[in-house]
Amino acid sequence: MSAVFRREVQAYFTSPIGYIFLAAFYFFSAFFFTTTSIQNGSTDMTAMFGDLMMILVVLIPILTMRTMSDDKRTKTDQCLLTAPVSLGGIVAGKFLAALLVYTCAVAVTVIYALIVAGFAEVDWLVIIGNIVGLELFGGSFIAVGIFCSSLTESQVVAAVISFITILALNILSIIGGLLPWKPVEDILTKLSFFERYTGFTYGLFDLSNVLFFISAVVMFLFFTVRILEKRRWA
Amino acid sequence: MIEVRNLSKHYGDKRAVDGISFTANDGEILGFLGPNGAGKSTTMNMLTGYISSTGGQALIDGVDILEDPIKAKKNIGYLPELPPLYMDMTVKEYLNFIYDLKKCKLPRVSHLKDICGLVKIDHVYKRLIRNLSKGYRQRVGLAQALVGNPPVLILDEPTVGLDPKQIIEIRTLIKRLGKNHTVILSSHILSEVQAVCDKIIVINEGRIVADDTETALSDKLTGAHILTAKIEGDTEKVTKAVKAIKGVRKCEKVNERDGVFEYRIESSEGTDIRRELFGSMAAEGWPILELRSAEMSLEDIFLKLTLGDNSQGEADE
């Protein structure tokens, strides 16, 4: 697992993907930070964290599109799958590498918080809740992206599928709202990633939301392992 | 060391590999010979655990590759048809990655250095794999298989894409490795398998056509019974004279260059007509410019092997 992790982290920074992802994230977060906190002269950063969620829908697929698909296309999966490592180890290594790059991106919000703190008193608990929420939210998307990437050999197709899936998972509550049937609406709202995340942006640290995102990660990584396994048996 | 029992792989109705069995002992070089699509790569992929089998068993050092894949894979070094190289890494980074991936216990620096010396990639050690030629990539692929010094090496067409000098080098290397490794290699070139392997398995359409030691098989296959001869002289007369030699079954013109014809002469099995041919041509004053036993194409081999089996079957009945 650690070998795969190191190799993936290295790959993010020898190819442009890691830099593009970080640059885009830094740019948009700075933009939202300026337009919300700075221009309004507010120490409340919730609006910025809410806006970042939209950006992730587009950026996470870029981060994860090549994780599994490229190995399949270039046949490098032959060296991973015939090495004495478990499939779970391979997938976990790739996930943690993407998560590390993502964490580097999220870390910039700490700097913004410090800037705001220079002007006035801030509510650190709310900000920490927000950061943890953003990390969990993105982490679950990374797992979804890796799963989507394992379905295809093409990076572009992987990115498109991930984008659609992540968007759909976000607006599950809206889809549910359109349905005339109340129980379905309730279930879809509970499963909506967006609804789960907004809790964090209000500064509410709800353990059920944390568990929701962690189980989403575990579930999608497990699906990815199953896809790899299935490909061997096909 | 490697034991394969009734291994099969079906894709829907297509039987890519259809119940093959063989064993390879310690220190043996086993060659898979077969045309493209015969099931060589599929078999190797099953042996290494890259794909699963539909039926049958593959045991590496007594460990079933499907039951305890991690333990079995520890003993295998695999060079697939297309070397699994990360183009964005240097040779050094790549081999270090493989070293970590295989959880190798040998001293890192000296072990990798030995391997690089063995496959002669020292001077490209710090270069990006993307920028290497096909021959060097193939060698890095071989180096990757050697990392961790696994007792079993499975090499899928290891000499593809190399120039003649490199081919000879790699063959020598494989022969050397065969002394303390069990090697399985595949090829569609008869002479290559003959040059390197102790034992040859010929497969076609997913089935084993022949399984024999190198000498027994090559006697069976080449023999001296088909000759190609370049003889200067009047074609019809030459053909007539050749056909008159005892044991000759067939004589046909195959080629012509500068008025000299090349003949393909088939004699009945077990008879050597070279001396008689020389005598009779010399008597007529027709110089033989070239004489060699005809190389058999893979099609000829399969035809011969399968026909041979049939005739035996008929004899049994």
Task: Tell which wins on pLDDT, A104 or A232.
Answer: A104
pLDDT at B252 over 50: yes
Q: Give the pLDDT confidence score for residue A6 in this predicted structure.
A: 94
Q: Give the pLDDT confidence score for residue A227 in this predicted structure.
A: 93
Q: Give the pLDDT confidence score for residue B317 in this predicted structure.
A: 37
CA closest to B80 among chain A residues: A78
**Residue B156 — very low, low, confident or very high, per pLDDT cuts 50/70/90?**
very high
Interface of B with A in 88-147 (CB under 8 A): 88-89, 93, 97-98, 100-103, 144
Can you state the angle between helices A124-149 and A193-201, rounded to 10 degrees? 160
Residues of B in contact with A3 (CB under 8 A): 97, 100-101
| Number of Cβ within a 10 Å radius of residue A55 | 17
Boundaries of every domain in chain B: 2-221, 226-294
**Residue B219 — very low, low, confident or very high, per pLDDT cuts 50/70/90?**
low
**Residue A105 — very low, low, confident or very high, per pLDDT cuts 50/70/90?**
very high
In angstroms, rounded to a whole number, what is the distance separating the alpha carbons of residues B46 and A81?
11
How close is the nearest chain A Cα to the Cα of B74, in Å? 5
In angstroms, rounded to a whole number, what is the distance separating the alpha carbons of residues B209 and B34?
9
Q: Give the pLDDT confidence score for residue A51 in this predicted structure.
A: 86
A–B: how many Cβ contacts below 8 A?
Answer: 72
Task: Tell which wins on pLDDT, A42 or A224.
Answer: A224
- Which tokens belong to A219? 């579930």
Task: Tell which wins on pLDDT, B307 or B185.
Answer: B185
Q: Give the pLDDT confidence score for residue A140 in this predicted structure.
A: 95
Domain total in chain A: 1
pTM above 0.80, yes or no: yes
3-class SS of residue B161: coil
State which residues form the domain around A50.
2-233
pLDDT at B224 over 50: no
Contact A74 B87 (CB under 8 A): yes
The answer to whether residue A16 neighbours chain B at the CB level (below 8 Å) is no
In angstroms, rounded to a whole number, what is the distance separating the alpha carbons of residues A36 and A176?
30
Contact B78 A3 (CB under 8 A): no
**Residue B217 — very low, low, confident or very high, per pLDDT cuts 50/70/90?**
low
Hey, what CATH topology would domain B226-294 get?
Answer: Alpha-Beta Plaits (3.30.70)
Q: Give the pLDDT confidence score for residue A38 in this predicted structure.
A: 85
Contact A79 B101 (CB under 8 A): yes
- Which tokens belong to B196? 């390197």
Q: Give the pLDDT confidence score for residue B315 in this predicted structure.
A: 39
Hey, what CATH topology would domain B2-221 get?
Answer: Rossmann fold (3.40.50)
Q: Which one of A6, A75, A83 has the shortest CB-CB distance to B80?
A: A75
**Residue B311 — very low, low, confident or very high, per pLDDT cuts 50/70/90?**
very low
Q: Give the pLDDT confidence score for residue B306 in this predicted structure.
A: 64
Contact A14 B88 (CB under 8 A): yes
Contact B73 A84 (CB under 8 A): yes
Q: Give the pLDDT confidence score for residue B198 in this predicted structure.
A: 86
Asked which of A72-81, A137-146, B13-22, B300-309 is least confident by mean pLDDT, the reply is B300-309
Interface of A with B in 54-93 (CB under 8 A): 74-86
Residues of A in contact with B53 (CB under 8 A): none
Contact B70 A86 (CB under 8 A): yes
Q: Are B129 and B87 in contact (CB under 8 A)?
A: yes
Task: Tell which wins on pLDDT, A31 or A203.
Answer: A31
Q: Give the pLDDT confidence score for residue B312 in this predicted structure.
A: 43
pLDDT at B247 over 90: no
% of chain A residues with pLDDT over 90: 59
Cα–Cα distances in angstroms (integers) from residue A20 to residues A60, A102, A110, A135, A217, in the given order:
11, 12, 20, 19, 24
The answer to whether residue B288 neighbours chain A at the CB level (below 8 Å) is no
H-helix segments, A121-171 = 124-149, 155-170
How close is the nearest chain A Cα to the Cα of B56, in Å? 14
In the predicted model, what is the mean pLDDT of chain B?
Answer: 85
Contact B84 A7 (CB under 8 A): no
Asked which of A71-80, B170-179, B258-267 is least confident by mean pLDDT, the reply is B258-267
Mean pLDDT of B212-231: 69
**Residue B107 — very low, low, confident or very high, per pLDDT cuts 50/70/90?**
very high
Mean pLDDT of B267-292: 84
Residues of B in contact with A84 (CB under 8 A): 69-71, 73-74, 102-103
Q: Are A46 and A201 in contact (CB under 8 A)?
A: yes
- Best A5, A10, A75, A79 residue to mutate vs chain B (most B CBs within 10 Å): A79
Strand B63-64 vs strand B226-231: parallel, antiparallel, or unpaired?
unpaired
How close is the nearest chain B Cα to the Cα of A71, in Å? 9
According to DSSP, the residues that pair with B208 across neighbouring strands are: B203
Contact A84 B93 (CB under 8 A): no
